A = this chain, B = another copy of it.
């Protein structure tokens, strides 16, 4: 019994290959996490268990996909970056996005009990994530994307910290707190925290203020004195013709050897990128020696 009569339906599959030599960022977001965080009693404004679970799932995604250079997470979202030279799944968009979304979801569900030992998942309200891929044609724009997410983290966290302190410690109603914060700038919020509650925002946990950045660890390099030139050099070095399959396999193996680390640091300024040139270059660095 041949299947040829119906096989024409395969013709309806349309290609979705992403443009070569561009950064691919896959951002995933929790679906309905506002409601979900209430249902599972997430601590306000930041639930450390929930963030650690997000990071743990993201680390597993980074380990499963050595083509990934970087991931940045905040709240219920995570951005994963593939290098412009990446040829994984022939750069098919749906394949890249769904692989990341599914792997992340699998670990999030599987590891839930580790981070929420006293709060079992409810079958009618399982967490899930959606996602999408976006292309960025240069390292400068990839960095601007990451800066955008980290600035957003800061803005939201300062707001949320102030709001929930006013409500939980100050005894204000949600509406009153919201009303008072309307139109305030950063310095206003810092002052409210400090004057009324004795809280110095700078002393808040780094993971709340900076979000989480995940990358492979090699020997750090010295930060370069000439600010800004590093990128230009990356661009210049960046190969435009695609790597051979064997070159790719070799690089993938080297990447698997590196440790995947979670950091809570500034990724807006040059220093982060200058000391870790392997992230933008896509070329593995030297593994840290034991002596270090």
Contact yes or no, B6 A151, CB < 8 A? yes
Scan residues 229-249 of chain A and give those whose CB is less than 8 A from a CB of chain B. 229, 231-233, 235-236, 238, 240-242
Q: Looking at the complex, which one of B6, B155, B235, B242 makes contact with A144 (CB distance below 8 Å)?
A: B6
* Cα–Cα distance between A89 and B80 once the two chains are bound (Å): 23
* Cα–Cα distance between A98 and B130 once the two chains are bound (Å): 5
Does any Cβ of B come within 8 Å of A207's Cβ? no
Q: Which residues of B contact A127 (CB under 8 A)?
A: 106
Scan residues 92-138 of chain A and give those whose CB is less than 8 A from a CB of chain B. 93-95, 97-99, 101-103, 105-110, 121, 123, 126-138
Q: Which residues of B contact A21 (CB under 8 A)?
A: 12, 137-138, 141
Residue of B nearest to A233 (CB): B232
* Cα–Cα distance between A108 and B102 once the two chains are bound (Å): 11
Contact yes or no, A110 B102, CB < 8 A? no
* Cα–Cα distance between A121 and B114 once the two chains are bound (Å): 14
Does any Cβ of B come within 8 Å of A11's Cβ? yes
Contact yes or no, A106 B133, CB < 8 A? no
Contact yes or no, A155 B231, CB < 8 A? no
Counting every copy of the chain, the complex holds 4
Q: Which residues of B contact A22 (CB under 8 A)?
A: 19, 22, 137
Number of A residues near B (Cβ < 8 Å) is 76
Contact yes or no, B144 A126, CB < 8 A? no
Does any Cβ of B come within 8 Å of A14's Cβ? yes
Q: Which residues of B contact A7 (CB under 8 A)?
A: 148
Q: Looking at the complex, which one of B5, B12, B129, B136 makes contact with A134 (CB distance below 8 Å)?
A: B12
The verdict on A11 contacting B20 (CB below 8 Å), with A102-B101, A106-B128, A126-B103 known, is yes
Residue of B nearest to A13 (CB): B134
Q: Which of A9, A19, A144, A148: most chain B Cβ within 10 A? A: A9
Residue of B nearest to A1 (CB): B186
Q: Which residues of B contact A236 (CB under 8 A)?
A: 140, 228-229, 231-232, 235
Q: Looking at the complex, which one of B8, B95, B134, B140 makes contact with A242 (CB distance below 8 Å)?
A: B8
* Cα–Cα distance between A1 and B147 once the two chains are bound (Å): 13
Does any Cβ of B come within 8 Å of A154's Cβ? yes
Does any Cβ of B come within 8 Å of A263's Cβ? no
* Cα–Cα distance between A104 and B128 once the two chains are bound (Å): 9
Does any Cβ of B come within 8 Å of A17's Cβ? yes
Contact yes or no, A144 B102, CB < 8 A? no
* Cα–Cα distance between A162 and B27 once the two chains are bound (Å): 45
Q: Give 8 nearest A-B pairs by CB, closest first.
A: A6-B148, A232-B236, A137-B137, A102-B128, A94-B132, A235-B235, A106-B126, A109-B109
Known contacts A1-B155, A31-B102, then 16 further A-B pairs from the complex at CB < 8 Å, ordered by chain A residue: A6-B151, A14-B15, A16-B132, A19-B22, A60-B126, A93-B94, A98-B129, A98-B130, A99-B128, A105-B105, A106-B108, A106-B128, A138-B235, A140-B235, A141-B240, A235-B235
